[in-house]
Amino acid sequence: MTLEVGVLGYRFMGKAHANAMARLPMFFPDAPEIQRRVLVGRHEEALSDAADRLGFESIATDWANVVDEVDVFYNLGPNHVHVEPSVAALEAGTPVFCEKPLAPTLEGADVMAEAARDAGDAVPAGCAFNYRFVPAIRYAKRLLEAGELGEIHHVRARYLQDWLVDPDAPWSWRNDEEMAGSGALGDLGSHSVDLLRFLVGDVGLAGEIDRVSGHLQTFVEERPTEGSSAQNDSETRPVTVDDAYTAQLEFENGAMGTLEGSRFATGHKNDHVIEIHGSAGSLRFSLERLNELEVLRGDDRGYETILVTDEDDPYVDHWWPPGHVLGWEHTFVHENYEFLSAVESGSDFAPNFDDGLAAQQVLDAIEESDDGGEWVEVG
Ligand code: SOE
C-alpha cells in the first residue's frame, strides 16, 4: 500500500522532511512506500515553486480540504497553526506528524493530546523531536538503560544560538507570543526538555521533572519589520517573547537539573549540549559533534570519546561504511522512517502527542515560575 502524504509548511521544516522522505526508498528499503501527494500553504506562487523543488504532485491553499483526503498529515507550519489542523486530521482518523513545540500554549497542547488519545492507538500522532534520532543519543540511552551510569544525580542541557543578537535582525512570527507561544524557551527548551525526558525520564533513572524554577529575559524589545532597519526610523514590531531562559529542575527521584537556552549567545549557531552525571559515570553530548559521545566511567580521570559510527550503532548500517559520519538531516530521515512505519503498521510512535504535552507542561511551569518568582510544580 502506498501512503499518500499531505504536508502543511514548505519552508525550513518542509524542506527537512521532504528531503527525508526522498531519502527513504534509497536507504531504508523496508520503509513504507509513500507519495508526496500535496503541499499546503497560503501563497500560491511560492507554494508552487516549493512543490516543484520538494517533489510534491500538487498544492492546496486550504488545509481543511486536505486533512481527510490523505493517509498521513504533516503539520510543519508555525506554532500557531499546529492545533486546529492537527485536531481536524485526527478527528478524521488521519495520522499526524507535528513539529515541535506541540502548541504555542499548554491549553493547545492539551487539546491536541486529547484528540490523539480519542483517535486511538492505531492512528499515530507524533511530535517531531528529531534529536531523539541522533545515533549517539540513542547509544547514550542504551548505556543509561543498562545502568552503566548508576544512580542519576545531575543533568544539564544548554541550547545556544545567536541569530537575534543583532538588534537589527528582522521581526518574525518567532518573536510574537500569539504565534509562537514563547521564544527560546519553546523553540530550544522544548528540545532540551524532551531529550532529558527521553534519556533519564524512566522511573528507574531520574524519573519525570517534578518542579522547576525559571527565569526569562528579553534583551531587545522591538525589531524592524522585514526589509527595514531600526536605524532609519522605519517600522518596528514589539518582541513579546523571551530571547533567553534559564531554569533549575528537580526530578522525581531527587536528581538536580539545569537548563539554559538563548538566541543571544554570540558565536553559537546551533549548540546543544547535554551532560549527565551518575554514581557510576558521566556522559556528554554536543550537537556540534553529533557523531561522538563522551563517556567517563568510574573514577577515570577523563572522558573517552566514542565514535558512534559503527555498523551496529543505531541506524548507521543504513548509510555508509563505519566512520563515514552522519549529519543533522539524517535525524529527520530516521524519525520519518519510524513514524511512517508506525503509520503503516497502525502502532504507537514515540515521541507522541503525550510527550509533546509533557514537554509543554515543563515549559509552562518555567514561565509561571518566572512570573511568580517561586518554584512551581509541573503538571
Ligand atoms: C531555531 O533556530 C531552530 O530552527 C529550531 O526551530 C529547530 O527546532 C532547531 O532544531 C534548530 O533551530
Q: Specify the CATH number for the domain of residue 273.
A: 3.30.360.10
Residue 346 lies in a domain: no
Query: Number of folded domains in the chain?
Result: 2
Q: What is the ipTM of this complex?
A: 0.96
Q: Does residue 120 sit in the same domain as residue 173?
A: no
Q: 102, 130, 158 — which closes off a domain?
A: 130
For residue 173, the model assigns a pLDDT of 97
Query: How far does the centroid of ligand 1 lie from the alpha carbon of residue 100, in Å?
Result: 9
194 CB under 6 A from ligand 1?
no
Domain membership flag for residue 240: yes
Cβ–ligand 1 distance for 352 under 6 Å, the answer no
Q: Closest by alpha carbon to 260, among 170, 177, 198, 191?
A: 191
Is the residue at 375 inside a domain? Answer: no
Domain check: are 52 and 194 in the same one? no
Regarding the beta carbon of 161 and ligand 1, being less than 6 Å apart is answered yes
Rounded to whole angstroms, what are the CA distances from 94 to 5, 13, 71, 127, 206?
10, 20, 6, 15, 35
Cell 537589527 found at: 168
Residues 104 and 238 in one domain: no
Please work out whether the CB of residue 328 comes within 6 Å of at least one atom of ligand 1. no
Locate 80 and state its grid cell: 500557531
Which residues face 7 on adjacent strands? 39, 74
d(CA 155, CA 77): 31
The reply to whether ligand 1 has any atom less than 6 angstroms from the CB of 292 is no
- Say yes or no: 231 and 155 in one domain: yes
Last residue of a domain, one of 109, 130, 151: 130
Q: With 0.90 as the threshold, say if the pTM is over it.
A: yes
54 and 188 fall within a common domain: no
For residue 143, tell me if it sits in a domain: yes
Query: Residue 339 domain-assigned?
Result: no
- Residue nearest (by alpha carbon) to ligand 1 atom 11: 270
The C-alpha angle 236, 42, 16, rounded to 5 degrees, equals 90
For residues 125 and 140, membership in a common domain is answered with no
- Ligand 1 atom closest to Cα of residue 263: 2
Orientation of helix 190-200 relative to helix 353-372, angle to 10°: 120
Q: Please give the Cα distance from 366 to 369 (Å, whole number).
A: 5
CA of 216 to the centre of ligand 1 (A): 19
Residues 308 and 174 in one domain: yes
Q: What is the pLDDT of residue 226?
A: 85
Q: Are residues 233 and 319 in the same domain?
A: yes
Is the CB–ligand 1 distance for residue 187 below 6 Å?
yes
CA-190 nearest atom, ligand 1: 8
Query: Is 352 within a domain?
Result: no
Q: Are residues 109 and 223 in the same domain?
A: no
**Number of C-alpha atoms within 13 angstroms, CB side, residue 217?**
14
Q: Is residue 357 part of a domain?
A: no
Secondary structure string (H, E, C) spanning the chain: CCEEEEEECCCHHHHHHHHHHHHHHHHCCCCCCEEEEEEECCCHHHHHHHHHHHCCCEEECCHHHCCCCCCEEEECCCHHHCHHHHHHHHHCCCCEEECCCCCCCHHHHHHHHHHHHHHCCCCCEEECCHHHHCHHHHHHHHHHHCCCCCCEEEEEEEEECCCCCCCCCCCCHHHCHHHHCCCHHHHHHHHHHHHHHHHHCCCCCCCCEEEEEEEEECCCCEEECCCCCHHHCCCEEECCCCCEEEEEEEECCCCEEEEEEECCCCCCCCEEEEEEEECCEEEEEEHHHCCEEEEEECCCCCCEEEECCCCCCCCHHHCCCCCCCCCHHHHHHHHHHHHHHHHHHCCCCCCEHHHHHHHHHHHHHHHHHHHHCCCEECC
Question: Do 194 and 305 belong to one domain?
Answer: yes
Q: Are 132 and 198 in contact (CB under 8 A)?
A: yes
Q: Nearest Cα to 180, choosing from 105, 254, 252?
A: 105
Is 174 inside a domain boundary? Answer: yes
**Residue 110, C-alpha cell as written in the block:** 492539551
pLDDT of residue 234: 72
Question: What is the torsion angle, in degrees rounded to the nearest 10, for the CA atoms of residue 51, residue 57, residue 61 and residue 62?
Answer: -140
**Per-residue pLDDT in tens (0 to 9) along the chain, 379 residues:** 899 999 999 999 999 999 999 999 999 999 999 999 999 999 999 999 999 999 999 999 999 999 999 999 999 999 999 999 999 999 999 999 999 999 999 999 999 999 999 999 999 999 999 999 999 999 999 999 999 999 999 999 999 999 999 999 999 999 999 999 999 999 999 999 999 999 999 999 999 999 999 999 999 999 999 876 555 557 999 999 999 999 999 999 999 999 999 999 999 999 999 999 999 999 999 999 999 999 999 988 899 999 999 999 999 999 999 999 999 999 999 999 999 999 999 999 999 999 999 999 999 999 999 999 999 999 8
d(CA 185, CA 372): 17
Shared domain for 71 and 147, answered yes or no, is no
Q: What is the CATH number of the domain that holds 69?
A: 3.40.50.720
- Which domain, by its residues, includes 35? 2-130
Residues 193 and 240 in one domain: yes
- The three three-digit cell numbers of residue 269, written as one number: 549557531
